[in-house]
Chain A
Amino acid sequence: MIIVTFLYYILSAYIAFIIVWNLVKSKKWQDELLYIIILIPFILRILRLK
């Protein structure tokens, strides 16, 4: 279980990286705002706050 949990944190960090990458590349403000909102729970989980 500890290995699976660790892999899920790795997965969360990878998804967070992809979202940030898309945010940087995005040209539409609506998409940028959406990426920021989606990113918040991933960051909170990676930091073990929620």
Chain B
Amino acid sequence: MKKIKTPTIRKSIFISFGLMVIISSGINFYKSRHMKEPVVMSPGVTQVKRLGQYFSGIAGTINDSHVYLLEGEQPGGTILVLGGTHPEEPAGRLAAWIFVENAMLEKGRLLVILSANKSGSTVTRLGGAYPPDYTIPTPWGERKFRMGDRWSNPLDQWPDPEVYIHYPSNQELAYVDIRNLNRTFPGRPNGTLTEKTGFAITQLIRKEKVDIVIDLHEAELQYPVISTIVAHERGQDLAAMASMMISGTEDFNIGMENSPPELRGLSHREIGDHTQAVSLLLESPEPMLDACRGRTDRKLLLDGKDEFLVKAYQHGLLFEKIDKNGWPIKKRVGRHTSSILQITELWTAEHSDKEIIINNVPKYSQLIKNGVGVYLHNPAEAPPVRLEWE
């Protein structure tokens, strides 16, 4: 009988180890990429379209995202809410989700995209050890969401160039930002997947004659643009008024900043420059994004409590307050819902021919009292016609 050599046995053991790692991690990555998130649409949702209906170049791709249309009985203005431009900023997606699952339009139209960059929602930051998903407790059980990344999944757009040259400004940006939807507006019809996604959203805004676009984001506490409304020139009055009204009437403060004309590719700059819409971007604080955070887990994602950030704040290193109570998700989502409602109220007061009246959406105080889960409905009890999947 031929004797098996020691190196062969050793190599077989190593190869088996490698296969185990590939299979176990591969299954996790596959499940994470293909996880479906239910959407129990409010009776206010009158149509569900796709981005591909506005630009055929995106049809059939992973970023052929749903566009939820909520139409009032009376005509009026049109507002577009973008969730998931940066999917790793979950309060933005969740706030948009609350609108789709609860809002009723009295006047005008509300358009919502929950996964503006769906590709980005199927991966987490490479090397960041982020959790792939998180769950929101509800009165009927739990609702699971993908965590996502700031950039499109490299499986959908690869490789990155040495330098990303933004279209049409030709401004040179970081190579990785060619996969950042909020650096590729207004988009390019023959560009990369992310550029095509930006172009599809720009086309939607033009074709649906959108009056206001609100792009929902979160920011690290070490970043100066935080807890604020970033406004294009044509939205500065609206944003300034909203900032004052919110800070005066709600239990939180929000600032207002002008969109820098020299910083290209961002929604607040390019949508304002290239379409008829007033373009605004909302930022709420997300401790999980900070570089000096501690353990990066689902708990930090949801409760926003981090002792290292508290220490950084005590040393004056942050642009937003943080204490032992952290920044729980209900607070971050509530800031977004209240801000959107305030902006539409002010818009309606100034535009009698383009009124937008949104009912049945919880404000900040209600979210603080009840939590996010109360406003997410049970997909098992939803009629099939009112159920959609992201």
Most buried by A among B11, B30, B192: B11
SS class of chain A's interface: helix, strand, loop or mixed? helix
B25 at the interface (CB under 8 A from A): yes
Interface residues of B in 17-53 (CB under 8 A from A): 17-18, 21-22, 25-26, 29-30, 33
**CB < 8 Å neighbour of A47 from B21, B26, B192:** B26
**CB < 8 Å neighbour of A29 from B10, B33, B157:** B10
Residue of A whose beta carbon sits closest to that of B26: A49
The interface residues of chain A lying within 8 Å CB-to-CB of B157 are 1
Cβ contact within 8 Å between B22 and A32: no
Interface size on A, residues (CB 8 A): 20
**CB < 8 Å neighbour of B29 from A1, A36, A50:** A50
Cβ contact within 8 Å between B29 and A49: yes
Cβ contact within 8 Å between A32 and B18: no
Q: How distant is the Cα of A24 from the Cα of B10 in the complex, in angstroms?
A: 11
The interface residues of chain A lying within 8 Å CB-to-CB of B139 are none
A8 at the interface (CB under 8 A from B): yes
A43: shortest Cβ distance to chain B, in Å? 5
| A5-B159 contact, Cβ under 8 Å, with A23-B11, A50-B25 | yes
B155 at the interface (CB under 8 A from A): yes
Cβ contact within 8 Å between A5 and B158: yes
Cβ contact within 8 Å between B14 and A32: yes
Contact with B along A8-37 (1 / 0, CB 8 A): 100000000000000110010100110011
Cβ contact within 8 Å between A36 and B7: no
The interface residues of chain B lying within 8 Å CB-to-CB of A49 are 25-26, 29-30, 33
Cβ contact within 8 Å between B7 and A27: yes
B15 at the interface (CB under 8 A from A): yes
Interface residues of B in 345-380 (CB under 8 A from A): none
Cβ contact within 8 Å between A40 and B14: no
Given contacts A32-B10, A36-B14, A40-B25, 20 further A-B contacts (CB under 8 A): A5-B159, A23-B11, A23-B14, A23-B15, A29-B14, A33-B14, A36-B17, A39-B18, A40-B18, A40-B21, A44-B22, A44-B26, A48-B155, A49-B25, A49-B26, A49-B29, A49-B33, A50-B25, A50-B29, A50-B123
**A residues engaging B (CB < 8 A)?**
1, 4-5, 8, 23-24, 27, 29, 32-33, 36-37, 39-40, 43-44, 47-50
